Structures are given as structure tokens and as C-alpha cells.
């Protein structure tokens, strides 16, 4: 019988002492027997190293200056030996049985190069705040509109990751989205209807703390791969510029004025696809939507 495949999991970290022990425990408590766990730490100055040293007999770790999250993950993949790859941020967690489920689904679907499961958002204390809005079943065209994948619930075959050149070190925020787009252009994905991971949302989270940079980098990624930026990205970006809301803890506040501004701004981004953008923009001007945003603009 063929030996069960080795699964290599990389955690990039930097000053992650507040959460990393829970992350480590979620990996080491998996019931799958063949896991290679590597923590790539960027020379933390907090108590992260003390935590890593406590688990040094059960994981590999390196603590040295690096070029950021992407550099750390790529270097971790370079050090790894597994046929299946994943990365888990230092504040996220696997759910019990996640790795074993991923391997079973890969074995059942040898054509799949990437699989992703369901996920949930948790807060600073680990309390669930709701399900991650995962797109399932998988649709290749979904990436043209949004990233409907919970990153910690993703597992990939090594040959696919190496086949697209790994993560792009030029990116700082949208590197996972960019990787999914490049992988989807060459390889099949599989959506698995099982909860596999928890994604932590807190005020210190880069996803919330760098909203302007994240919007701008995602827009650049969409223009690079598809030459088109959908209305939802333009409207969300302009809404953030208006009020600074993170659009998670502070939900997007709809505005007819901002939506109107999304027409010329989106036209600039989509100069080669004006008719497509104008149709998409106009298709959202239903009487119900107009009444809703007008009411909110008036403060009533």
C-alpha cells in the first residue's frame, strides 16, 4: 500500500506571541500521522521564541530577519519535503481533523491540484463570529469578482505551487488571491463541504489595519490578470476613502453619491472594457437599491 503523503505546513510569524501557541497546538493536535510543521519567524522580539522553544521537539523553526510574510512562506516551502503544502498564519487555527480530511479528498480526487474547505471567523478570544463566505461549489470564474476562499482552509499539491512559481514576493497583501488566480488558470480546484479552519479577525490584523493598501493591491491584481475591476471593488474602495470604515467591524455605509463616483473612477480602471463596466454599474441601479442608499445618505 502506498504510504500516506507528507503534508508540509508553514507558519510565518513576527511578534506573534499573543496567538501563536493556539496556532501551533491546532497543527500538532491533528490526527493525521505525517505532518511536517515549519515556523518561519522574522526575528521576533516578543515572547514568540519562548513559545517556539517549548515545542522545538515537534516542529522546525527558524528565527531570522526576512523580507516579510511572502518571503517567509516561500522559504518555508523551500525547506519542506511534503507532497501537499499549506500555510497557516500565526493567528489562525485548524479545526480537528482538517489535515486528514484534506488528504482523503486529494486521494479521492487525484485530478484536483488545490482544495479548500469551509471556514469561520473568530475574535481575539477565539469566539466564533460567523462563517467565512466561501464560494462552493467551485467556479473558476469566481476569482474575476472576489476571493471566495478562506486561506487557512486551503491545501495544495506541491507540483502545482511550483508550476506557477509560488507566491509573488512583490505583493504584500493580495498574495494569496494572486496565487489562487494563477493556480486556477492551470489546475483544477475542489471545494470541500467540511469546516477546516478558523480565521482570526482583530484590530491588529493586517487585513483590517491596512485597508487602503489592500484595496489598491487587489485592484492592481485584478487589472493584471483580468484587465477588469468589478463594481464591488471600486465602490468598496471609494467607500473606504470616504469614511475609513474597515467594512468588517464597521460595515460599509451605502451612499448614492459614492456609487455615482464609482462610474468615472471605474471607467478609468476599465478603459478597455467601458461598456462591460457601464452595464455592470447600471445593472445595480434597481429602484430598491436607489431607495436604500438615498435613505442612508439623507440620514433618515
Interval 16-58: pLDDT, tens:
999 999 999 999 999 999 999 999 999 999 999 999 999 999 9
Share of the chain above pLDDT 90, in %: 83
Return d(Cα 265, Cα 257) in angstroms, integer.
13
Q: Where are the beta strands (DSSP E) in the chain?
A: 7-13, 35-41, 60-63, 84-87, 93-94, 114-122, 128-131, 154-157, 189-200
**Mean local confidence (pLDDT), 119-132:** 93
Domain presence at residue 108: yes
Residue 118 β-bridge partners: 195
Lowest mean pLDDT among 71-80, 115-124, 150-159, 249-258: 249-258
Asked if residue 188 and residue 51 are part of one domain, the reply reads yes
3-state SS assignment for residue 185: coil
Using alpha carbons, select from 226, 213, 153, 215 the residue that is nearest to residue 184: 226
Judge whether 211 lies within some domain: no
As for how many domains the chain has, the answer is 2
All three cell numbers of 114, joined, read 488545490
Claim to verify: residue 194 and residue 243 sit in the same structural domain: no
Q: What is the CATH number of the domain that holds 140?
A: 3.90.550.10
Do residues 139 and 288 both lie within one domain? no
User: In this structure, are 246 and 127 located in the same domain?
Assistant: no
276 vs 204, residue with greater confidence: 276
- Measure the CA–CA gap between 155 and 146, rounded to whole angstroms: 19
The answer to whether the CB of 85 falls within 8 A of the CB of 77 is yes
Burial pattern 220-231, b for ≥16 Cβ within 10 A else e, equals bbbeebbebbbb
Per the CB < 8 A criterion, the answer to whether 115 and 104 are in contact is: no
Per-residue pLDDT, 203: 62
What is the reported pLDDT for 248? Answer: 76
Is pLDDT of 291 > 60? no
Q: Are residues 61 and 179 in the same domain?
A: yes
Which grid coordinates belong to 240? 473606504
Contact yes or no for 138/191 (Cβ under 8 A): yes
Residues 195 and 244 placed together within one structural domain of the fold: no
Which pLDDT score is estimated for 292? 44
Same domain, 178 and 237: no
Residue 86 lies in a domain: yes
pLDDT surpasses 80 at 81: yes
Q: What is the pLDDT of residues 194-226, one digit of tens each?
A: 999 999 987 665 556 688 999 999 999 999 999
Pair (62, 151) in one structural domain: yes
Considering the domain boundaries, does residue 85 fall inside one? yes
How far is Cα 179 from Cα 230, in angstroms, rounded to an integer?
A: 19
Q: Report the 10 Å Cβ neighbour count for 208.
A: 16
Q: What is the pLDDT of residue 204?
A: 63
Pair 77, 8: CB distance under 8 Å: yes
Q: Which residue segment(s) compose the domain that 131 sits in?
A: 7-200
Question: Where does the pLDDT of residue 285 fall: very low under 50, low under 70, confident under 90, or very high at 90 and above?
Answer: confident
Of 239, 268, 271, 233, the closest CA to residue 253 belongs to: 239
- Domain stop point among 200, 216, 249: 200
Helix (H) or strand (E) run with residue 75 in it: helix 69-79
Which pLDDT belongs to residue 2? 61
Question: What is residue 208's predicted lDDT score, i.e. its pLDDT?
Answer: 60
> What pLDDT is stored for residue 246 in this prediction?
79
| Residues 65 and 164 grouped into a single domain | yes
Any domain includes 213: no
In degrees, rounded to 5, the angle at the alpha carbon of residue 94 between the alpha carbons of residues 91 and 95 is 130
Q: Are residues 195 and 233 in the same domain?
A: no
Same domain? 243 vs 170: no
Q: Report angle CA 146, 152, 158 to the nearest 5 degrees.
A: 95
Write out the three cell numbers for 179. Answer: 496565487
CA 235 to chain centre: 21
The pLDDT tens digits of the residues spanning 162-196 come to 999 999 999 999 999 999 999 999 999 999 999 99
Which pLDDT band holds residue 286 (cuts at 50, 70, 90)? low
Query: How many Cα neighbours within 13 Å face the side chain of 55?
Result: 22
Helix (H) or strand (E) holding 224: helix 211-226
Provide the grid cell at 122. 473568530
- Does residue 63 form part of some domain? yes
Residue 140 maps to a domain: yes
Same domain for 232 and 143, yes or no, is no
Question: pTM above the 0.85 mark?
Answer: yes
Q: Is residue 73 part of a domain?
A: yes
Residue 140's pLDDT band, with cuts at 50, 70 and 90, is: confident
Give the model's pLDDT for residue 97: 98
Amino acid at each position: 500500500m502506498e504510504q500516506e503523503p507528507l503534508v508540509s505546513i508553514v507558519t510565518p510569524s513576527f511578534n506573534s506571541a499573543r496567538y501563536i501557541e493556539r496556532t501551533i497546538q491546532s497543527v500538532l493536535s491533528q490526527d493525521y500521522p505525517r505532518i511536517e510543521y515549519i515556523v518561519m519567524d522574522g526575528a521576533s522580539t516578543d515572547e514568540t521564541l519562548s513559545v517556539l522553544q517549548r515545542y522545538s521537539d515537534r516542529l522546525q523553526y527558524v528565527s531570522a530577519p526576512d523580507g516579510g510574510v511572502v518571503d517567509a512562506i516561500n522559504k518555508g516551502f523551500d525547506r519542506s519535503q511534503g507532497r501537499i503544502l499549506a500555510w497557516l498564519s500565526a493567528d489562525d487555527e485548524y479545526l480537528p481533523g482538517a489535515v486528514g480530511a484534506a488528504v482523503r479528498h486529494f486521494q479521492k480526487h487525484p485530478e484536483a491540484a488545490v482544495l479548500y474547505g469551509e471556514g469561520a471567523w473568530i475574535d481575539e478570544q477565539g469566539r466564533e463570529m460567523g462563517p467565512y463566505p466561501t464560494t462552493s461549489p467551485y467556479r473558476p470564474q469566481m476569482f474575476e469578482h472576489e476571493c471566495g476562499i478562506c486561506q487557512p482552509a486551503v491545501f495544495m499539491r506541491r507540483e502545482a505551487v511550483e508550476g506557477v512559481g509560488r507566491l509573488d514576493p512583490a505583493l504584500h497583501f493580495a498574495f494569496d488571491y494572486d496565487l489562487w488566480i494563477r493556480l486556477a488558470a492551470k489546475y483544477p480546484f475542489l471545494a470541500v463541504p467540511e469546516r477546516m479552519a478558523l480565521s482570526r479577525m482583530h484590530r491588529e490584523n493586517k487585513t483590517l489595519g491596512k485597508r487602503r493598501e489592500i484595496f489598491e493591491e487587489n485592484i492592481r491584481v485584478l487589472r493584471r490578470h483580468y484587465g477588469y475591476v468589478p463594481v464591488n471593488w471600486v465602490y468598496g474602495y471609494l467607500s473606504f476613502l470616504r469614511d475609513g470604515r474597515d467594512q468588517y467591524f464597521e460595515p460599509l455605509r451605502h451612499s448614492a453619491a459614492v456609487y455615482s463616483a464609482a462610474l468615472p473612477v471605474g471607467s478609468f480602471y476599465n478603459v478597455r472594457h467601458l461598456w462591460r463596466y457601464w452595464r455592470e454599474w447600471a445593472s445595480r441601479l434597481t429602484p430598491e437599491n436607489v431607495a436604500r442608499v438615498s435613505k442612508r445618505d439623507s440620514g433618515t
